Amino acid sequence: MHNRKGARPHPPKGCLWIEDAAAHLGMEPNTLRKWRVLGKGPIGFKVGRFVTYKVTDLDDYLDSQYRAATQPDRVHDARPPEPRTRRRPARAAA
């Protein structure tokens, strides 16, 4: 899981290391690493040199994803679609 020598310490009480947090969410650890850099997803923090996530934060994230998926009149916050433009073939040089 990690490439450091020696045994990895136990995570703080109520927390999971990033690999275990990813398994808890059903995703790859690299996805959580990318989200952490981008400021997306559940909040992770460092303890020493290891990244950890609170189990309550992971469960809250899963609950928010479930609520967003099951609310029929939710507001979608993505940017509006760009207008479609029709491409014309380039004219041949005369």
**What pTM did the predictor assign?**
0.67
Q: What distance in Å separates the CA atoms of residue 37 and residue 46, rounded to the nearest whole number?
A: 13
Q: CA-to-CA distance for 59 and 52, rounded, in angstroms? A: 14
How far is the C-alpha of 94 from the C-alpha of 84, rounded, in Å? 30
Residues in the chain, overall count: 94
Distance, in Å, from the CA atom of 25 to the CA atom of 28, rounded to the nearest integer, reads 9
For the chain, percent helix, then strand, then coil, each to nearest 5?
A: 35, 15, 50
Q: What is the pLDDT of residues 19-32, one digit of tens each?
A: 999 999 999 999 99
CB atoms within 10 A of CB 27: 13
pLDDT tens digit string along 32-66?
Answer: 999 999 999 999 999 988 999 999 999 999 998 88
